[in-house]
């Protein structure tokens, strides 16, 4: 159970990348009063956590309604996460997210806590796929409670990173942020490949 909790926490943490979201938060809240920034720093992770918890609770039911087996979703989700990891390693994910946040702010988005911070930067396709994969493996019971606790924990870390975004950005700088993003991308790539392997193994077992 401890291994499952640690694996789930590390996987979701790598996908969401709270430290890498700090520049996006600064871009989205640029020019806003400190009080408004604090409010957004608290609201955005709560909204993202609510979305991911609902997905964790309803994920298995949704897959059954769509007629999608867990092995198929493991393979598809693993491939999707590999795409995310590819962007982290070879792309410019932190700066791209910051540009998207800046664009949303310039377009007068009604609430930057919802868009783009909660969706799609925290509760984006990668995080949703990861939550569905983990909840599919967990089923119902103690493991599902662990998934919910992991979601809440990762979103709380995002909240801490948003509150201290100026300090993180100043400490890491552009180079440090790029290095961290690529190291986390490598780890996420390994996790995504493991998801695909597990899915293929499950398909082979069911056919044999």
Buried b or exposed e, range 164-190, using 16+ CB within 10 angstroms? ebeebbeebeeeebbebbeebbeebbe
Range scoring the smallest mean pLDDT among 8-12, 46-50, 128-132: 128-132
| pLDDT tens digit sequence for 123-156 | 987 898 889 888 877 777 889 999 999 999 999 9
Q: Is the predicted pLDDT of residue 67 greater than 80, yes or no?
A: yes
Contact of 98 with 24, CB cutoff 8 Å:
yes
Residue 98 maps to a domain: no
Domain count, the chain: 1
Q: Is the predicted pLDDT of residue 104 greater than 60, yes or no?
A: no
pLDDT top residue among 179 and 161: 161
- Work out the number of other CB atoms within 10 angstroms of the CB of residue 38: 14
Q: Tell me the residue ranges of DSSP E strands in 5-94.
A: none
Rounded to the nearest integer, the mean pLDDT of the chain is 83
Q: What is the pLDDT of residue 109?
A: 43
Q: Is the predicted pLDDT of residue 190 greater than 50, yes or no?
A: yes
Question: Quick one: average pLDDT of 109-123?
Answer: 80
Q: If you ran DSSP here, which 8-state letter would residue 21 be given?
A: G
Q: What is the pLDDT of residue 55?
A: 92
* Mutual angle of helices 70-90 and 165-207, in 10-degree steps: 140
Question: Quick one: average pLDDT of 1-12?
Answer: 91
Report the C-alpha gap between 79 and 60 in whole angstroms. Answer: 19
Write down the pTM of the prediction.
0.76
| pLDDT tens digit sequence for 70-83 | 788 778 878 887 88
Residue 103 maps to a domain: no
Q: What is the pLDDT of residue 106?
A: 45
Question: What band does 102 get if pLDDT is binned at 50, 70 and 90?
Answer: low
Q: How far is CA 74 from CA 64, 69, 124, 139, 197, in A?
A: 14, 9, 17, 14, 9
Residue 68 maps to a domain: yes
Q: What is the pLDDT of residue 44?
A: 94
pLDDT top residue among 178 and 100: 178
CB contact set of 115 (below 8 Å; sequence gap of 6+): 104, 109
Q: What is the pLDDT of residue 188?
A: 76
Residue 97 maps to a domain: no
Q: How far is CA 1 from CA 7, 8, 154, 200, in A?
A: 10, 11, 18, 23
Q: Which two tokens stand for residue 178?
A: 């790029």
Domain that holds residue 166: 1-92+108-207
């Amino acid at each position: 159970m401890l291994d499952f909790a640690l694996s789930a926490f590390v996987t979701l943490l790598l996908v969401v990348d709270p430290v890498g979201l700090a520049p996006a938060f600064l871009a989205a809240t640029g020019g806003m009063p400190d009080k408004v920034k604090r409010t957004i720093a608290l609201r955005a992770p709560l909204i993202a956590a609510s979305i991911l918890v609902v997905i964790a609770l309803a994920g298995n039911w949704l897959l059954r309604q769509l007629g999608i087996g867990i092995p198929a979703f493991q393979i598809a989700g693993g491939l999707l996460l590999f795409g995310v990891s590819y962007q982290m390693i070879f792309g410019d994910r932190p700066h791209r997210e910051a540009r998207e946040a800046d664009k949303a702010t310039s377009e007068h988005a009604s609430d930057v806590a919802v868009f783009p911070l909660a969706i799609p930067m925290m509760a984006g396709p990668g995080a949703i796929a990861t939550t569905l994969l983990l909840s599919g493996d967990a089923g119902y019971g103690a493991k599902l409670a662990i998934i919910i606790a992991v979601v809440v924990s990762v979103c709380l870390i995002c909240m801490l990173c948003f509150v201290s975004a100026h300090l993180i950005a100043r400490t890491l700088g552009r180079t440090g942020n790029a290095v961290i993003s690529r190291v986390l991308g490598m780890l996420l790539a390994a996790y995504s490949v493991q998801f695909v392997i597990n899915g293929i193994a499950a398909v082979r077992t069911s056919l044999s």
